[in-house]
Amino acid sequence: MKRPVILDCDPGHDDAISLILALSSAKLDVLAVTTSAGNQTPDKTLNNALRVLTLLGRHDIPVASGAPKPLARELIIADNVHGESGLDGPKLPDPAFEPVQQTAIELMADKVRNSKQPVTLVPTGPLTNIALFLAAHPELHHNIDSIVLMGGAAGVGNWTPAAEFNIFVDPEAADMVFKSGLPIVMCGLDVTHEAQIMDEDIERIRAINNPIAQCVAELLDFFMIYHRDPKWGFTGAPLHDPCTIAWLLNPSLFTSVDCWVGVETKGEYTQGMTVVDRYQLTGKPHNAKVLFNINRTGFVDFIVERLSDY
- 141 in active site: no
- 10 Å Cβ neighbour count for 142? 9
Active-site entry in 82, 193, 240, 286? 240
Question: For 66, how many CA atoms within 13 A lie in the half-sphere containing its CB?
Answer: 31
- 10 Å Cβ neighbour count for 60? 8
Report the distance separating Cα 55 and Cα 126, nearest Å: 25
Which active-site residues does the annotation give? Answer: 240
